[in-house]
Amino acid sequence: MLALLFLLMPNNSSYHLPRNPVDLTESRHASSMPGALKEDAIRIKVARDGQIYFSDLRVSRDKLPDLIQEALTKGAEKKVYILADARARYGKVMEVLSEVRVAEVEKVCFLTE
């Protein structure tokens, strides 16, 4: 019966989307950023194909200032953590950075491995 139970149990790992769609660049002299692990931290991901994610939600670039301001009104730290794929285009990352500046956030951290 036990063997039958294991055979019929569904594998839940195949139903989950990848949590981090970016391959971070490696850094030798990085410093720890424990604030990036907070639940309400503002994390923006730039994927290899240029897609932009606010937390785990795919968004367009022009929506970023509104989403950042909304997160700040809910009590998030006034710091943005950017996770850029190692192969993402520099111009796309700069577009995201300019939208962060439109949201009037001056503290920006780039996360690496």
Q: pLDDT tens for residues 48-101?
A: 999 999 988 999 999 999 999 999 999 999 999 999 999 999 999 999 999 999
pLDDT at 7 over 90: no
Task: Please tell me the distance from the alpha carbon of residue 57 to that of residue 9, in angstroms, as a whole number.
Answer: 30
Contact 47, 59 (CB under 8 A): no
* 23 pLDDT tier (thresholds 50, 70, 90): confident
pLDDT of residue 74: 94
Domains in the chain and their CATH numbers? 18-110 (3.30.420.270)
Mean pLDDT throughout 102-106? 94
Percent of the chain scoring above 70 in pLDDT: 82
pLDDT band at 14 (very low <50, low <70, confident <90, very high): very low
Distance, in Å, from the CA atom of 43 to the CA atom of 3, rounded to the nearest integer, reads: 43
In sequence order, what are the residues at sequence separation of 6 or more whose Cβ sits closer than 8 angstroms to the Cβ of residue 21?
45, 47, 51, 53, 85
Q: How many residues would you count in the chain?
A: 113
pTM of this prediction?
Answer: 0.79
pLDDT at 43: 95
